Amino acid sequence: PRPAPPPLLVAGHVLLTPPAVFVYADGFRDEPVDITLNLPAGWRAGSGMEQPEPGHFVAPHYDRLVDSPIEAGTFDLVSFEAGGMTIDFLIHGTWDEDEERLANDISAIVEASAGVFESASRSLPTDRYLFLLHSGPGLGGGTEYYNSTVVHTDPRSFWDDERWGGFLGLMAHEFFHTWNVKRFRPASIDRYDYQNVNYTELLWVAEGLTSYYDQLLPVRAGLMPVADYRKQLADTIGGVVDNPGYGQDTLARASYEAWTKGYHRGPDRAADKANRTISFYSQGGLVGLVLDLEIRRISRGQRSLDTVMSALYDDFPLGGGGFTYTDFRARVAAVGDAILAERLDGWVYGTEPLPIAQALENIGWSLDREDISEDPVQVSLGVSIRGNPPVVRAPRLNGAAWRAGVNAGDELLALDGVRIGSGLNTLLRRYDPEDTVELALFRDGHLKTLGVTLDPALADHEIIVYEDAAQSRSQMRRDWLGGMDEGDE
Ligand SMILES: [Zn+2]
C-alpha cells in the first residue's frame, strides 16, 4: 500500500480516489453503494466496479467502493484476454499506441503471475482486471486495488527499452498484489480500520514478497533476459546489504513503523535515515529469494515459495481473519522444513544476516563483488554531501567520517590543506585505504580539523554463473526461472 493520492481533477480528465472522496460512515459500511457521474459529452468512465450503464457504478459495500478508483475522461482503452481473465488497459496521456506490444507483454505478465498460484485450489481472484495508467512527464509509482490498479509512468517508458522493462516490473508488482494483499493479507489489516492507523509487522510479506516477484515475473514471462535479471538482483542485494542501516532494524519493526516512519514525510525523514532504517520492500524481497531457493533445495525442486503463496491464498480468504506470522511460519515449516522456519525468525524479528550467497549456490550462481582494483578512487570518506562548498547530509554509520566525528551539517573545506569545492572524488584519488587525512571543516561557523582514516571503497555486487555447476543445480535454476536460462533470449 501507499498513502492514497489526492483526487485529481484537471481539464480533460478526473481520477476519483474513493477514500479521499467518499466519506466513511460507521453503520453504512456493509450497505450496497450506487454512484452516478454526470459525464460531459464525449467522456467515458472506467473502474474496477460494475458499470451497468456509462457513468453508473455499483459496489456491494463501502469496502469495495474505496478499493475501486474511477477514471473519467477521453482515454484510450485496450482490451484483451490473458490467463483466463479479461484485461482492460486504460491509458490517459501520451503513449506509443502500440496496442500489440502492450497486449502481448501485459498478457505474459498476467499469465506468469497466475502461474505462481497454479497449485492453489481456489480459482482466479477476478475474471476482469483494469490497469488504469496515467502517462505524463515525471510520473511514476502505483497503487493496488481490489481488481484494478492506478499506475503512473513517464511517457519515455514507451520509447526506451530499459524504461519499458521497469514499467513491466511495476505492472507485475501491482498485478501480483491482486493476490498478495487484495485476496489475502495480514490479520491486523484483514478488515481495514478507516478511523485509525492500521499497524502490521508483516509488510515484508505484503510488499517485500511482491517486490521479489515483480523482478522475477518478467523473466518467467520471457520479457527479460536472465543476464539482466542477474544484474538487477545483484543491485538489489547491494542496496540492501551495503545500506548502513542493514542489521540496525528488524523487518518486523520497519513494517510496524511504515505509517509513522517509512512512508511518513515529516521531520523524521532526515538525511541519516539510511543509517537507522531498512526497506521492507527490498530486504523483504531478499527474504523471499532466500526462502524460495532454500525450499527448492530442501524439497529437491518439488516445492517453492510459490507453494507457500498458494497455501496463503487458499487458507486465508479475505474477511476471514487474515494470517499471522505464526500462520506464515507454519507454511514455511510444512513446505520447507522446521529449521528454515526457525531461521526465518532471525531474519524477521532479529537482525540475522540473510544467507543470500548460500541460497544462490543452490542454483549455481555465485555472489561476488566487482573487481575495482583499477578504479581511480580506492578509498571512501563515508559521507553523503550536497552543494559547493559541500555540506554533509549524513556521515555513513561507522564509516571513516563517522569514526572521526564528522557531523551532519558540517561544511567540508579542505583535505590535507587542499580545497575540496566540488572535487572531493578527484582529491580522493591520491589516497590508499588506511591513509589518514586531515579534514578541515566549518561547524556552526567554527573551523575544526579532524584526522580521518580512510576506508577501502565498496565495490558493487555481481552474480556470476558457475560454468561447471552440477546438472541438478542448473535444472533447479531453470525451473525457478520458469524454464528460462542464460542465452535463451
Ligand atoms: Zn506494493
Q: What is the pLDDT along the chain (489 residues), one digit of tens a residue?
A: 455 555 666 778 999 999 889 999 999 999 999 999 999 999 999 999 999 999 999 999 999 999 999 999 999 999 999 999 999 999 999 999 999 999 999 999 999 999 999 999 999 999 999 999 999 999 999 999 999 999 999 999 999 999 999 999 999 999 999 999 999 999 999 999 999 989 999 999 999 999 999 999 999 999 999 999 999 999 999 999 999 999 999 999 999 998 887 776 655 456 667 888 899 999 999 999 999 999 999 999 999 999 999 999 999 999 999 999 999 999 999 999 999 999 999 999 999 999 999 999 999 999 999 999 999 999 999 999 999 999 999 899 999 999 999 999 999 999 999 999 999 999 999 999 999 999 999 999 999 999 999 999 999 999 999 988 899 999 999 999 999 988 775
- Architecture (CATH level 2) of domain 379-456: Roll (2.30)
| Model pLDDT, residue 92 | 96
What integer pLDDT is reported at residue 268 of this predicted model? 45
Q: How many other CB atoms are there within 10 angstroms of residue 340's CB atom? A: 18
Q: What is the pLDDT of residue 468?
A: 87
Query: CB–CB of 199/220 below 8 Å?
Result: no
Ligand 1 midpoint to CA 247 (Å): 23
Between CA 387 and CA 422 the distance in angstroms is 8
Q: Name 461's bridge partners.
A: 369
Q: Which residue has the cell 530499459?
A: 162
Distance 373 CA to ligand 1 centre (A): 38
CA of residue 78 to ligand 1 center, whole Å: 24
- CA dist., res. 489 & res. 486, Å (int): 7
β strands within 355-410, DSSP E? 365-369, 379-380, 383-386, 391-395
Copy the grid coordinates of residue 42.
Answer: 464525449
Q: What's the 141 CA to ligand 1 centre distance in angstroms? A: 9
Give pLDDT, residue 7: 60
463 CA from centroid of ligand 1 (Å): 26
Same fold, 203-363+467-480 and 379-456: no
- Taking the C-alpha atoms of residue 203 and residue 252, their distance in angstroms, rounded to an integer, is 8
208 C-alpha to center of ligand 1: Å? 8
Which residue bears the cell 538487477? 232
**CATH topology (fold) of 8-179:** Zincin-like (3.30.2010)
Amino acid, single-letter form, for residue 36? T
For residue 462, the CA-to-ligand 1 centroid distance in Å is 26
Q: What separation in Å is there between the alpha carbon of 377 and the centre of ligand 1?
A: 37
Q: Domain boundaries in the chain?
A: 8-179, 203-363+467-480, 379-456
> Distance from the CA of 2 to the center of ligand 1, in angstroms?
7
User: From ligand 1's centre to the CA of 174, what distance in Å?
Assistant: 6
Ligand 1 mean position, distance from CA 203 (Å): 9
Which residues does residue 82 pair with via DSSP β-bridges, in sequence order? Answer: 85
Q: Dihedral (C-alpha) 246, 248, 252, 255: value to the nearest 10 degrees?
A: -70
Distance 207 CA to ligand 1 centre (A): 5
pLDDT at 428: 97
- Angstrom distance (rounded) from CA 236 to CA 377: 23
Report CA(280)–ligand 1 centroid distance (Å).
11
**In the beta sheet, which residues pair with residue 87?**
80, 129
How far does Cα 146 stand from its chain's mean position? 19
SS3 assignment, position 45: strand
Report the separation in Å between the CA atom of 350 and the middle of ligand 1, taken as the mean of its atom positions.
23
Distance 424 CA to ligand 1 centre (A): 38
CA of 325 to the centre of ligand 1 (A): 19
How far does the centroid of ligand 1 lie from the alpha carbon of residue 150, in Å?
12
Ligand 1 centroid to residue 210 C-alpha, Å:
6
Quote the ligand 1 centre to 368 CA distance (angstroms). 29
Q: 456 preceded by cis ω (within 30°)?
A: no
State the pairing for strand pair 411-415/418-419: antiparallel
- Cα 1 to ligand 1 centre (Å): 5
Find the 246 Cα to ligand 1 centroid distance in Å: 21
Give the length of the chain.
489
The alpha-carbon radius of gyration of the chain (Å, integer) is: 25
- Write the Ramachandran bin of 6: left for phi over 0, alpha for psi from -120 to 50, otherwise beta: beta
Residue 421 CA, ligand 1 centroid: distance in Å = 41
Q: What was the pLDDT predicted at 277?
A: 87
Cα–ligand 1 centroid distance for 238 (angstroms): 21
Ligand 1 center to 264 CA (angstroms): 16
Class of domain 203-363+467-480: mainly alpha
Q: How far is the CA of 169 from the centre of ligand 1 (A)?
A: 11
CA of 183 to the centre of ligand 1 (A): 14
How many A from CA of 167 to the centre of ligand 1?
A: 14
Element holding 117 (H helix, E strand): none
Looking at residue 270, its pLDDT comes to: 60
Distance 287 CA to ligand 1 centre (A): 16
* ipTM above 0.90 for this complex: yes
* Cα first-last separation, the chain: 34
How many angstroms does the Cα of residue 423 sit away from the middle of ligand 1?
A: 39
The rounded distance, in Å, linking the Cα atoms of 241 and 235 is 10
- Residue 351 CB neighbours (<10 A): 13
Expressed in angstroms and rounded, the spacing between residue 213 Cα and the centre of ligand 1 is: 11
Residues 6+ positions from 162 with CB-CB distance below 8 Å: none
What is the CA(214)–ligand 1 centre distance, in A? 9
* pLDDT tens profile 151-160: 999 999 999 9
